[in-house]
């Protein structure tokens, strides 16, 4: 406000504009909303960091060439270090996700959790050639952070993509699918991928409607089918043409590569 108004005799005029009687109420609202937005921001940042770290772990794990064996120490050390750093990030946002806020900020933390799911389920598969359960995955998160069924499922969808890459890279570099059907009860990656595909197709998400699982599942189902088919095509190529080609030849994946590069 500009200067003080005065009457003709110099006396101060009453300040005619009274403050709104609702200010104390709105000040309280402001404080509450500020806290909420700050929390939200912190969680979004953490989710981004967790996503980035998980992607790096997955990248490292893609260098593994064995199945159903311990991860080679060099790679395991890298992933261990990254996983520890990630745990710290999770622990840091535990206070923000306490009690009623766990579901309040679900959408903000969901991305990070799904990426994390992808990483730990990939690592679990490489060591055990099985699908990690929701309970086992939950244990790898701090106690108070919830792993929802939605995030678990969506994370596993993404796992299929990584398994596809793992399968194709292994075919390209070793001339064979990871895993083996030679022993009784043995399975290769393609058999496992097909199991996942069947299980997912059997999941009835029609009741989810437009929320959470419902809208993402359709898209991811398409991607998953494509992944499985890529591996099937690669195996076919291996069998039909692999015998005539030197090791290192990459099967024809028409949709996303140029001409195959021969290596000797």
Partner 1 sequence: MADGMINARIFEDLQTKIDEDADVRDQIKVILQTLERQGRNAQSILSRAHSTPAAHLQPVIASAESAIKDEVESINNLAGIASNSPYYKYNNLWTRDVQNVVFAILLCGWLGGMAMPNKPAEPGKLLTIEEVGEILNVPVNLKDRDAFHLTIEEYLQSLITLIEELARLAVNSVTLGDYARPLQISQFVKDLHAGFQILNLKNDSLRRRSDSIKYNVKKIEDIVYDLSLRNLVPKST
Q: Which residues bind partner 1 (CB under 8 A)?
A: 19-23, 25-27, 29-30, 32-34, 37, 99-104, 106, 129-131, 133-134, 149, 152-153, 185, 187, 191-192, 194-196, 199, 202-205, 207-209, 213
Instruction: Write a three-state SS string for 195-257.
Output: HHHHHHHHCCCHHHCCCCHHHHHHHHHHHHHHHHHHHHHHHHHHHHHHHHCCCCCCCCCCCCC
Beta bridge partners of 12: 6
Least distance in Å: CB of 242 to partner 1? 24
Q: Closest Cα to residue 231, out of 185, 183, 195? A: 195
- 60 or 170: CB nearest partner 1: 170
Least distance in Å: CB of 134 to partner 1? 7
- 100 or 254: CB nearest partner 1: 100
Q: Give the distance from CA 48 to its chain's centroid.
A: 10
- 86 or 159: CB nearest partner 1: 159
Q: Closest Cα to residue 134, out of 57, 120, 192? A: 120
- 90 or 105: CB nearest partner 1: 105
Least distance in Å: CB of 98 to partner 1? 10
- 14 or 73: CB nearest partner 1: 14
Q: CA-to-CA distance for 6 and 11, rounded, in angstroms?
A: 5
Least distance in Å: CB of 39 to partner 1? 12
Least distance in Å: CB of 257 to partner 1? 29
Q: CA-to-CA distance for 124 and 198, rounded, in angstroms?
A: 20
Eight-class DSSP state of 132: P
Least distance in Å: CB of 15 to partner 1? 15
Least distance in Å: CB of 252 to partner 1? 27
Q: Give the distance from CA 2 to its chain's centroid.
A: 56
Q: Closest Cα to residue 231, out of 164, 159, 152? A: 164
- 154 or 250: CB nearest partner 1: 154
* Burial group, residue 160, by CB count within 10 angstroms (0-12, 13-18, 19+): buried
- 131 or 172: CB nearest partner 1: 131
């Amino acid at each position: 406000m500009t200067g003080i108004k005065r009457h003709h005799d110099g006396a101060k005029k009453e300040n005619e504009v009274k403050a709104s009687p609702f200010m104390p109420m709105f000040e309280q609202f402001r404080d509450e909303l500020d806290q909420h937005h700050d929390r939200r921001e912190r969680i979004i940042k953490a989710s981004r960091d967790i996503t980035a770290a998980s992607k790096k772990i997955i990248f490292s794990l893609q260098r593994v060439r064995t199945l159903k064996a311990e991860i080679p120490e060099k790679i395991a050390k890298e992933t261990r270090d990254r996983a520890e750093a990630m745990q710290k990030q999770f622990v840091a946002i535990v206070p923000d996700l306490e009690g009623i806020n766990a579901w309040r900020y679900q959408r903000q933390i969901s991305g990070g959790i799904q990426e994390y799911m992808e990483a730990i389920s990939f690592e679990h598969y490489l060591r055990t050639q099985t699908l990690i359960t929701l309970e086992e995955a939950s244990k790898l998160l701090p106690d108070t952070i919830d792993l929802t069924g939605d995030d678990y499922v969506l994370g596993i969808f993404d796992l299929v993509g990584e398994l596809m890459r793992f399968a194709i890279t292994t075919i390209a570099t070793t001339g064979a699918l990871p895993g083996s059907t030679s022993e009784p009860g043995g399975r290769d990656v393609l058999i496992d991928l097909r199991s996942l595909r069947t299980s997912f197709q059997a999941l009835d998400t029609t009741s989810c409607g437009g929320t959470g699982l419902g809208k993402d599942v359709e898209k991811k189902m398409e991607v998953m089918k494509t992944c499985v088919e890529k591996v099937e095509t690669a195996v076919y190529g291996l069998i039909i043409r692999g015998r005539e080609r030197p090791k290192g030849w990459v099967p024809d994946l028409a949709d996303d590569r140029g001409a195959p590069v021969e290596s000797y």
